[in-house]
Amino acid sequence: MKKGGVALFAAFLFTGVYAGEWGGFVEGRLGTRLQEDPLEKQGSVEDLRAQVATRGFLGPADYDLCVDFLYNGLNPDLEDVNLETGNGWLDLRSANILWAPVPWMDLKIGRQTLTWGTGDLVFLNDLFPKDWVSFFNGRDIEYLKAPSDSVYSAMYFGDWILDLVWSPRADTDRYLTGTYMSFYPFVYTADNPLPTHRPHSGDASLRLKTTFGEVETALYGYYGFWKSPAGFTAEGVGFFPDLQVVGGSALTPFAKGIGNVEVAYYNSSEDSDGSNPMIQNSEARFLLGYQQELMADLSMGAQAYSEWLQDYEAYKENLQPGEPLRDEWRQLLTLRLTWFQMNQTLMLSSFIFYSPTDVDGYARLLAEYKWSDTLTLSAGANLFAGESETFFGQFQDDTNMYVAVRRWW
Amino acid sequence: MKIRIPFYMILLIVCRLNAADEPLTGDAVAEMAEQAAYYAGDDGKSDVRMVITDANGQERIREFRVLRLNGEDNKQMFFVYFNEPADVREMSYLVHKQGGGGEDDRWLWLPAISKVNRIAPGDKRTSFVGSDFVYEDISGRSLNEDKHELLSEDADFYVIRNTPKDLSKVDFASYDVWVRKDNNLPVKAEYVDGEGKVVRRVTADKIEVFEGIPTVTQSTVEDPRRGSKTVNTFSNVEYNIGLKERLFSERYLKRPPREATR
């Protein structure tokens, strides 16, 4: 299907193109761990990347093509191109066409990046693939979202928008395998990565959105799989158990800023009573957020997030010996501060996650300077703290800092 | 072909008639100026080139297209689509201006992370893409935000003083605007702080006429506190091109219409 999509796109390309806009960048990015990790290399990121992007029109349709050519110094196996995991010298970021078959519908087919929901770096109803390695090791934030190979239809009925996304083969997260980052229980490495069975059937997402006065509201649904391995076979192979999600969100101007609330229920249907220790239980997720500008060029965003593990008694009874016990409620607080200086050419930002229940945390620090309109310099750090079996604490030895130079063209 | 008399023409005529009898109020001049500067035609399109010069003399360029559509009761919609620089290319910005008061709704589409960001009402005095213009300058500051008094007038200009009703929302104490009598365009604005020191100066440097509509084609903002200035040059100005209301929606924010990109 994927190859078919690319071929279809290529066919379009050679049958007459209105040459649209071209753009892209060349980037070098180097990062290092701030401590030793016995399981990993000292480098946390070593990228030399060139992005080429173009978009334009083909008759009634818009096309969008974006390709990254990557030399990954930490895993310089150029041959092993995998468009799903992003491995190898080529990462296809987008390749899609969009047109309106009927006036009230947009159809976008092909490789694309999808996002929805109201959270800031916290995801409830956004079940689109994410690249956790890129997020934690200091790549640009745009790489947190991994592309999907999907049919996306957006239908517009007056003030109502119905979005349907179908991926013939579900795209998983670009999850941690041990190749770049170590994690609990610290057995997987680049030479012994986490083995997984990827899902072979499709998944579907739905959103119904409308506005009541000032308030933007949405209902969501998802039918598919956990996006990162949330189940393990008896042989220790990770897999992606069935998952259905329903949820809703509201976002509105509030006081001097914007407030948002979002809820989601994750039904882990392969472990519906929560008794299977090899498959993650169902959970409910809640988010409350608020952001506003504190003063000129300084803005903040704060969020309170909770995960409520369902069937907690069954989970506790069946917990395998030696497995760390999860709390029934996991609480997470986040704080974002963004400060612009020098006509917005210098940006300093910090994003802190802190969990009072896990007693762990994660800080993302970034300084970005636009030397000119075409040259951006940045430096940042990803700092993890906590016990080695908590969510952020397990990444302690991955604590890193990085520098990057990006030349746009 | 239907001949439409633009609303501002009627206003202009009414004002002229008034002018003969009694002096205009500050409110009337402010409204005339707003109509001339922001409401010309039924809709409009313009390409903007912004040159930002910082205190060290370094220049940054921004290029974008603005589409505008007038609605009823002074409501308006704006669509801004960026071409340059590369790091904001394809970014778009949408404003639903409420006209008669009430907070405007603003959204920003960030293509790099494919996200629509709602902009908080408190952020309208924030620098627009690093320039000396603020978000509010793009779509115009609501008349209801200020009290307007006529300070003086001579043969060529009205001068009005605008004092914000809520000083906590702004970074100045008041601003004076010079409005040309012949075409109603505001051609200079000086923002002062509590001590009367000029903290921001906006000037219309060049005016051209398109389809009979006097239009500012070059404007400058200076910020003496930062030592920076921004020059806007407007080109490809068109009016009454028949823009559709549906272009000014979340749908086209994420998928910029060809009216914006071509």
pLDDT at A3 over 60: no
CA-wise closest residue to A352 among A388, A301, A307, A390? A301
Q: How confident is the model at residue A66 (pLDDT cuts 50, 70, 90)?
A: very high
- Decide: helix, strand or coil at residue B133: coil
State residue A14's pLDDT score: 46
The structure's pTM equals 0.89
Question: Where do the structural domains in chain B lie, given as residue ranges?
Answer: 7-261
**Helices B7-21 + B26-38 axis angle, to 10:** 150
Q: How confident is the model at residue A16 (pLDDT cuts 50, 70, 90)?
A: very low
Interface A–B counts its CB contacts (< 8 A) at 100
- Strand pairing of A43-58 and A329-341? unpaired
Cα angle B260-B51-B121, degrees, rounded to a multiple of 5? 65
Cα A237 to Cα A185, A197, B154, distances in angstroms: 14, 7, 85
pLDDT at A374 over 80: yes
B211 touches A at CB < 8 Å:
no
State residue B21's pLDDT score: 52
State residue A1's pLDDT score: 44
State residue B80's pLDDT score: 93
- Closest CA–CA distance from residue B90 to any residue of chain A (Å): 10
pLDDT at B8 over 80: no
B171 touches A at CB < 8 Å:
yes
Cα A167 to Cα A375, B111, B120, distances in angstroms: 37, 21, 34
Q: How many CA atoms lie within 13 A of B4 on its CB side?
A: 11
Tell me the pLDDT tens digit for each residue of B175-221. Answer: 999 999 999 999 999 999 999 999 999 999 999 999 999 999 999 99
pLDDT at A238 over 90: yes
pLDDT at A11 over 50: no
Bin B56: left if φ > 0, else alpha if -120 < ψ < 50, else beta: alpha
- The DSSP secondary-structure symbol of B56 reads T
What average pLDDT does the segment A343-372 reach? 96
Q: How confident is the model at residue B7 (pLDDT cuts 50, 70, 90)?
A: low
CA gap B162, B29 in Å, rounded:
11
Residues in A closer than 8 angstroms to B114, CB to CB, are 113-115, 145
**Is A284 in contact with A308 (CB distance < 8 Å)?**
yes
State residue B84's pLDDT score: 86
- Closest CA–CA distance from residue B25 to any residue of chain A (Å): 32
CA-wise closest residue to A140 among A91, A189, A83? A91
Q: Which of B65, B83, B89, B134 to mutate to test the interface with A (most CBs of A within 10 A)?
A: B89
B73 touches A at CB < 8 Å:
no
- Closest CA–CA distance from residue B6 to any residue of chain A (Å): 29
State residue A5's pLDDT score: 55
Nearest to A257 among B85, B120, B261 (CB): B120
Q: What is the dihedral of CA B104, B110, B116, B119, to 10 degrees?
A: -30
Residues in B closer than 8 angstroms to A154, CB to CB, are 251
**Is A398 in contact with A384 (CB distance < 8 Å)?**
yes
User: Cβ contacts of residue B168 below 8 Å, gap of 6+?
Assistant: none
State residue B98's pLDDT score: 85
What average pLDDT does the segment B237-243 reach? 94
pLDDT at B6 over 80: no
State residue B244's pLDDT score: 92
State residue A4's pLDDT score: 54
- Closest CA–CA distance from residue A119 to any residue of chain B (Å): 11
State residue B1's pLDDT score: 41
Bin B143: left if φ > 0, else alpha if -120 < ψ < 50, else beta: alpha
- Closest CA–CA distance from residue A308 to any residue of chain B (Å): 27
B245 touches A at CB < 8 Å:
no
- The arrangement of strands across the sheet holding A238-239 comes to A196-197, A238-239, A231-232
Q: Cβ separation of A253 and B115 shorter than 8 Å?
A: no
Q: Cβ separation of B54 and A343 shorter than 8 Å?
A: yes
pLDDT at B13 over 80: no
Beta-bridge mates of residue B213: B210
Range from A242-256, A298-312, B129-143 carrying the lowest mean pLDDT: B129-143
B110 touches A at CB < 8 Å:
no
Which of residues B193 and A5 earns the better pLDDT score? B193
Beta-bridge mates of residue A107: A99, A153
State residue A15's pLDDT score: 44
User: Cβ contacts of residue A180 below 8 Å, gap of 6+?
Assistant: A40, A44, A45, A74, A75, A133, A137, A190
State residue A19's pLDDT score: 59
Cα angle A249-B107-A116, degrees, rounded to a multiple of 5? 35
Q: Cβ separation of A21 and B114 shorter than 8 Å?
A: no
- Closest CA–CA distance from residue B229 to any residue of chain A (Å): 10
Q: How confident is the model at residue B23 (pLDDT cuts 50, 70, 90)?
A: confident
Tell me the pLDDT tens digit for each residue of A74-132. Answer: 987 767 888 888 888 999 999 999 999 999 999 999 999 999 999 999 999 999 999 99
User: What element of type H or E holds A139?
Assistant: none
What does the block give as tokens for A102?
């009927």
State residue A261's pLDDT score: 98
Range from A6-20, A227-241, A341-355, A361-375 carrying the lowest mean pLDDT: A6-20
User: Cβ contacts of residue B38 below 8 Å, gap of 6+?
Assistant: B68, B76, B139, B140
Which of residues B103 and A228 earns the better pLDDT score? A228
Fold of the domain built from segment(s) B7-261: outer membrane lipoprotein receptor (LolB), chain A (2.50.20)
A409 touches B at CB < 8 Å:
yes
**Is B29 in contact with B2 (CB distance < 8 Å)?**
no
User: Cβ contacts of residue B205 below 8 Å, gap of 6+?
Assistant: B218, B219, B220, B231
Percent of chain B's residues with pLDDT above 70: 91
Q: Which of B81, B109, B114 to mutate to test the interface with A (most CBs of A within 10 A)?
A: B114
Residues in A closer than 8 angstroms to B125, CB to CB, are 296
Q: Which of A343, A369, A371, A408 to mutate to test the interface with B (most CBs of B within 10 A)?
A: A343
Report how far apart the first and last C-alpha atoms of chain B are (Å, whole number): 27
Tell me the pLDDT tens digit for each residue of A118-173. Answer: 999 999 999 999 999 999 999 999 999 999 999 999 999 989 999 999 999 999 99
State residue B169's pLDDT score: 82
Domain A21-42+106-408 has CATH 3.30.70: no
Task: Return mean pLDDT, chain B.
Answer: 87
Phi, psi torsion values for A189, nearest 5 degrees: -140, 180
**Is B189 in contact with B159 (CB distance < 8 Å)?**
no
Tell me the pLDDT tens digit for each residue of A311-328. Answer: 999 999 999 888 889 999
What average pLDDT does the segment A248-273 reach? 95
State residue A18's pLDDT score: 57
Tell me the pLDDT tens digit for each residue of B34-72. Answer: 999 899 999 999 999 999 999 989 999 999 999 999 998
Q: Cβ separation of B86 and A373 shorter than 8 Å?
A: yes
The sign of the torsion formed by the CA atoms of A248, A216, B94, B106 equals: negative
